[in-house]
Amino acid sequence: MCTGSRDEMAARLADMPGRTVVGADGIARRIVRDRTQQLPRLEEFYVACPAVVDDKARPQFEEQWYAATTTAVLC
């Protein structure tokens, strides 16, 4: 996690892997993995937001993400 001014974070976001997409909500995201159509539906992206936003990761997220993105599952 990084903190800084809006301009600093916009520059940091632009340096992240992926491609920039601005959604209908006006929020820029760096898309690393597009949302899949098959289950489990996976997507991966970076976004810059105010530092006061709570982490949205639920308990066990890391474990479940790893299980859903292993080579055996994706191939």
Express each pLDDT in 37-72 by its tens digit. 887 788 889 998 877 777 777 888 888 888 888 765
Long-range contacts made by residues 39-42, C-beta under 8 angstroms, separation at least 24?
40/68, 42/68, 42/69
Q: Per residue in 1-33, pLDDT tens?
A: 788 888 898 899 999 999 999 989 888 899 999
Q: Quick one: pLDDT at residue 73?
A: 59
CA distances from 41 to 9, 11, 68 (A): 28, 29, 9
Q: What are residue 46's DSSP bridge partners?
A: 30
Query: Are 45 and 30 contacting, i.e. CB atoms less than 8 angstroms apart?
Result: yes
Residue among 66, 68, 30 at smallest CA distance from 47? 30
Q: Quick one: pLDDT at residue 71?
A: 66
